[in-house]
Amino acid sequence: MAEPVVPPTAGLALRLSDLRPWGKGDLASALAQWLGVPAVQLTCSGTSALMVALRTLRALAPQRDEVIVPAYTCPLVALAVAQCGLQLRLCDLRADALDMDGDVLRMLCGRKTLAVIPTHLCGRVADVAQALECAHEVGAYVIEDAAQALGARLERAAGGSGGSEPVGWQGDIGFYSLAVGKGLSTFEGGVLLARDPHLRQALAQTGEQVPSSVWWELRRSLELIGYAALYRPCGLGPAYKAPLQKSLARGDWVEAAGDDFDDFIPQHPLGRWRQRVGGWALQRLPEFLRLTEEQAARRCARLAAIPGIEVVRDAVAGRARGTWPVILLRLPTAAARNAFIGRHWGDGSGLSLPFVHVLPDYGRYDHALGTARGDKVDVARDWAERLVAISNSPWLDEPGFEKLLRQLAAL
């Protein structure tokens, strides 16, 4: 019998009963309640949420047009910034944490800076306080990119005595993604949040200008049905592993990692039925996140014991409670990483790369980078060349995980 296929990230599988179109309560209020915030705003994708945020801020500060992002992030972020008519700036990373380097960030921030985007990559919590300090000092805003971190939280004070708040709530604006493979998915979807009621209102006004599209909603609804049917170990063979192997056979790592994005970013509201599906699935999300957190804790301990392998942790030590869609490893050299992923990526055993390159190294996104192509990205490039992600899906069972451990130990 063929081995079951492990998805690259731990997404919550949908049940047939999630597709029922009735039920009380809407996704926005259920999400706000679960997160412990007054309100959230839904969008058709994380990228769309970012665009709504950028347009809103631009209207508030029209003289500012630069947006600072980590040099290693989702290319969609670069495309969104460019599509809003803004200039990207790339911030190099710290060598000791997957987060922006504070000194570089301080140098990049200036009177042209509109926003700084600290990013909770792969559920690992970034240092938003640092970004706030640098941005607010020059009158810029902070947008937390929590696309990959819905459910992650930060203690208000060390020791946990002051309670916690969700990531995305510390910055001026935050957003999550509900795309395929995320903890909670409506196939594509996004969530915006902001602490300041005036900013929330301004975001809502920008969001209302997004025109509805029957065509996009129909297409996304059908895709969501397909996702509900195929996002399970047997369905992932044809839906994920076969296309992955094809991309790898062509040597196309960018396509294999799903980093091959189009310039066109659809913008439309998130339809009511898909919101309802998300609302039903959300009821199971807290328990799913608890299970994946426990699994990650056990597995991180085993992985950290392999000499030369570093398990990537939250950038804010002690106060963060990140989520665990994957377990990120930094291998000792790019050669070791490439040998490992090159040999086993196509097995369907749960390996992937968060992103293949730092933004300037794709080439295909140069038009969106503009002058940011010249920004220094050496440390980020080193991260990009040595990272590998192990899926934290519960479908990666113990024998499968033990096999990966042996493969890593043999490097």
Ligand X SMILES: Cc1ncc(COP(=O)(O)O)c(C=O)c1O
Residues that bind ligand X (CB under 6 A): 45-47, 73-74, 76-77, 119, 121, 145, 147-148, 177, 179, 190
Region label for 324, one of left (φ > 0), alpha (ψ between -120 and 50) or beta (otherwise): beta
- Our CB check for ligand X shows the closer of 233 and 354 to be 354
Nearest-approach distance from CB 305 to ligand X, in angstroms: 29
CB 118 within 8 A of CB 101: no
The contacts of residue 208 (CB under 8 Å, 6+ apart) are: none
In the complex with ligand X, the residue whose CB is nearer, 104 or 147, is 147
Min separation Cβ 162 and ligand X, Å: 28
Q: 302 or 313, CB closer to ligand X?
A: 313
- Residue 88 CB, shortest distance to ligand X, in Å, is 13
Size (the chain), residues = 411
Closest Cα to residue 340, out of 392, 406, 258, 245?
A: 406
In sign, the C-alpha dihedral spanning 157, 160, 161, 164 is positive
d(CA 385, CA 334): 5
Question: Least distance to ligand X from the beta carbon of 259, Å?
Answer: 10
Of 179 and 244, the one with the shorter C-beta distance to ligand X is 179
Decide whether 88 or 309 has the Cβ nearer to ligand X.
88
Taking the complex as a whole, the smallest distance from the CB of residue 407 to ligand X amounts, in Å, to 26
Cα–Cα dist 177/147, whole Å:
4
- Give the DSSP letter string of 131-186: HHHHHHHTT-EEEEE-TT-TT-EEESSTTSTT-EEETTSSSSEEEEE--TTSSS-S
For ligand X, the closer CB: 77 or 316? 77
| Cβ nearer to ligand X, comparing 105 with 309 | 105
Compute the Cα dihedral for 360, 361, 365, 367 and give only its sign: positive
365: CB partners within 8 A, 6+ apart: 75, 78, 79, 359
Minimum CB distance to ligand X, residue 152 (Å): 13
- Cβ proximity to ligand X: between 57 and 147 the closer is 147
Please give the backbone phi and psi of residue 155, each rounded to the nearest 5 degrees, phi first.
-65, 140
Nearest CB to ligand X, comparing residues 190 and 233 = 190
CA 110, 112, 114 angle in degrees (round to 5)? Answer: 100
Report, in Å, the least distance between residue 49 CB and ligand X: 8
Give the shortest CB-317-to-ligand X separation in angstroms. 21
Q: Which residues pair with 326 in a beta bridge?
A: 391
Q: In 3D, which of 358, 368, 179, 176 has the Cα closest to residue 263?
A: 368
Q: Which residue is nearest to ligand X (CB)?
A: 46
For 153, how many CA atoms within 13 A lie in the half-sphere containing its CB?
18
Which residue, among 145, 208, 131, 205, has the nearest Cα to 175 in the 3D structure? Answer: 145
Q: Which is nearer to ligand X, 117 or 303 (CB)?
A: 117
Q: Please report how close the Cβ of residue 74 comes to ligand X at its closest, in angstroms.
A: 3
* Minimum CB–partner distance for residue 355 and ligand X (Å): 8
Give me the residues paired with residue 67 across strands: 88, 115
